[in-house]
A and B are shown apart, each in its own frame.
Chain A
């Protein structure tokens, strides 16, 4: 038999085995659904036929007995019970064992004749040691196998194309300048040529974008590709522990980067194992607590912005903060003072500390697995975030926030110490502008209030041991970072907006680099480093280089320019004077058209506009500005006497960031909004 056919057969077999397995598990829960039997029978039958086609008599023998058993069940001659299903699962395992051995080019370690004989007598005691999970992993391959390296290389090349396209665009501008300097008659031909070229570049841009998307899609696989074995895992575990547990999976189809999925799998196995072993109570305890006998463990995946949220939850006994605190204390993970100061939510995160395990009895199942600290570390390695929620007696939930892919991430670009850095957006809670007087000293630390919460403030440049920039302004740019339950604020030179960045490794010369997990290549072709936020948190915890700023850093320097648009001279003047006293540069416009003209002539950092004006109104003005490259991101505040929700909705829809009602208009409100948006 040619190996090509063997491979094709093995792929097919994997599919049938997977659906056999999932079908059997459904049947186990719903023994009355005899319609399922038909589907299972079909699987077994096809498998038998295919095995015969390629001359694999061992497999056809096993599947034959399985088929016979299923037929008996369908005719009602055989019982549909847990034992029967166990037997069928063992049959499927045996087939998987053979196919995976064949794929590796090895001789399967299975005495088929004996297996079949025992199977027929229904006395299979020794489980066939098939690694079905491995078989499921094999199933990931669809039609073509490609090395992830090759795909990375492809993405890399596309990145280069994007950079090259930017160069072309710059050349187009030069061409425009050349045309402008030529006499009209000569310039005309050149201008036509330039327009043509511009169109070509535009088309190329479109093609590159498409290509990029397709290349990224190549790396994506659905959650299903790793979750197929989980139902079995939970079932087997529950049976071993004498518990009744059902696994619910939602979001099978959510796609993630293949590398990420592979990294995620062991963590999910660990979390599911934890949920079954430590979360779900034995049936009698559950009944005593007024819960259904059967516990539910759920695994769900969904998109949230540019990330994937994967949750493992159980409706078991929940986590007990008091017990966790006590255990941490007993193990010396924390000292009594820390324990006292620690809130309940914070206490849950103690389980992430190395050397922590609350399980009172080390079971052979979860006792040997990785600890939660390892899960956390792994999640951080893939730039993810992990949160815990639990209520004693009712549930616990572990939420993993993961990037869609490891090769492209959404990042906030910042400037710090004269260099540009990218910060993965999933670690960024918010960006702020703070006035120096908002910084207070608490003990040895500088802190600021972020939404009423006291947050430690650090100078990012100092943490990274970079020279401080002498640039300063009335307000300081701050980013608030989050990691699990922790928050920290970092002083930076400037925010540069968010962007999708291609992640590149730093190469083998950088074996391990503190603070960094890679670099990206910016539009100008130069690299920018991507910060490793967990490292920043641990650095802050260790030596805490505080934001001791030099006096000059606090001094005023750059003035923000604001455009005030209103047809009423009173409002215009009022707004202007309020802003002027706070050191903003103010330009006024009397109508929407006037504003558009002024926006074309100079650049503003913020626009404040009325709604009802002669000519185009404030909403139309906003929409208009949003369409231009330059003003796509510039904050716009609508100030109006219209107070209906409908108006507010319309304002936000047109692209405005804030809506202030004139009736409630006071200085503080306007200034606060302006400062929130630009500082």
Chain B
């Protein structure tokens, strides 16, 4: 088939275009299913992640003001552009060790339907597309609350947090119950 003939066969061109269009669409879908955009960070020496849709921003650890007579989970409050925001150390909730949060430490600001809150992390590694092929869901009824499973990445595993469940957990609210 020469290029000249092809040029005149408007039907086949249109057909080809349609084909390409559909193919592109399905490719996109496949891609969406395969990779999960996640914010990756370190907690208790392990790598954790959650979907970017929950994350607002990542900031350096500001001066935290201790709040008297509240659960130890609340590390303190800080000023997030005029809004008083809590910073939580969620590591005990996940059964993790609590190494000191040093210069690399960050506060990941997440937003639930009710409020914005900060999560103290030992380090933040930015947004990464995690491959769903390597995802192993946690066993149903497993002991680990707030964990949906883990990704097997080339450089080790990354645990996927159930941020929705975490933000809905009553223990993160002060004065609940």
Taking a contact as CB atoms under 8 Å apart, the answer to whether A526 and B65 are in contact is yes
CB distance from A360 to the nearest CB of B (A): 39
**Does B101 reach chain A (CB closer than 8 Å)?**
no
Asked if B67 lies at the interface with its beta carbon under 8 angstroms from chain A, I say yes
Q: Would you call B94 an interface residue if the criterion is a C-beta within 8 Å of the partner chain's C-beta atoms?
A: no
Q: A406 → chain B, closest Cβ, in Å?
A: 15
Q: Are A521 and B68 in contact (CB under 8 A)?
A: no
Chain A residues near B78: list those with CB within 8 A.
Answer: 526-527
Which residues of chain A are within 8 angstroms of B67 by Cβ–Cβ distance? 510, 513, 516, 529
The answer to the question of B66 belonging to the interface, with a C-beta cut-off of 8 Å to chain A, is: yes
Nearest CB on B from A398, distance (A) = 30
By beta carbon, the residue of chain A nearest B113 is: A508
1/0 per residue B66-97: CB within 8 Å of A? Answer: 11111000000111011111100000000000
In the assembly, what is the distance between CA of A211 and CA of B81, in Å? 19
Cβ–Cβ < 8 Å partners of A504 in chain B: 82-84
**CB-based nearest A residue for B116:** A507
Min CB–CB distance A417 → chain B (angstroms)? 8
Given contacts A506-B84, A526-B78, A526-B79, contact A514 B69 (CB under 8 A): yes
Residue B3 is within 8 A (CB to CB) of chain A in the complex: no
Enumerate chain A residues within 8 angstroms of B62, measured Cβ to Cβ.
526
Q: Given A509-B115, A509-B117, answer yes or no on A160-B82 (Cβ-Cβ < 8 Å).
A: yes
Inter-subunit contact B84/A507 (CB<8 Å): yes
**Interface size bracket, A side:** 20 to 34
**A521-B79 in contact (CB<8A):** yes
Please tell me which stretch of B53-61, B126-134, B143-151, B167-175 contacts chain A, meaning at least 4 of its Cβ atoms lie within 8 angstroms of it.
B167-175
Residues on B with C-beta less than 8 A from A279 are: none
A466 pairs with B77, CB closer than 8 A: no
Given contacts A526-B78, A527-B78, contact A510 B86 (CB under 8 A): yes
Q: With A and B bound together, what is the CA distance between A516 and B63 in angstroms?
A: 19
Identity of the chain B residue whose Cβ is nearest the Cβ of A518 in the assembled complex = B84
Q: Once the chains bind, are B172 and A509 in contact (CB under 8 Å)?
A: yes
Nearest chain B residue, comparing its CB with the CB of A158: B82
Question: Which of B69, B115, B176 is packed against the most chain A CB atoms within 10 Å?
Answer: B69
Which of A159, A418, A508, A511 is B82 in contact with, Cβ under 8 Å?
A159
Residues of B within 8 A of A525 (CB): 79
B81 touches A506 (CB 8 A): no
CB–CB B77/A511 < 8 A: no
B154: CB under 8 A from chain A? Answer: no
Task: Using A504-B84, A506-B77, A521-B82 as known contacts, say yes or no to A511 and B65 having CB atoms under 8 A apart.
Answer: no
Q: B114 CB to closest chain A CB, in angstroms?
A: 5
Task: Tell me which of A157, A466, A509, A527 contacts B79 (CB under 8 A).
Answer: A527
Supply 9 A–B pairs (Cβ within 8 Å), ascending by A.
A418-B66, A419-B66, A464-B69, A509-B117, A515-B68, A526-B62, A526-B65, A527-B84, A529-B68
With A465-B69, A466-B66, A507-B115 known, 12 other A-B pairs at CB within 8 A are: A466-B68, A506-B77, A509-B173, A514-B175, A515-B68, A515-B69, A516-B67, A519-B84, A526-B78, A527-B79, A529-B68, A529-B77
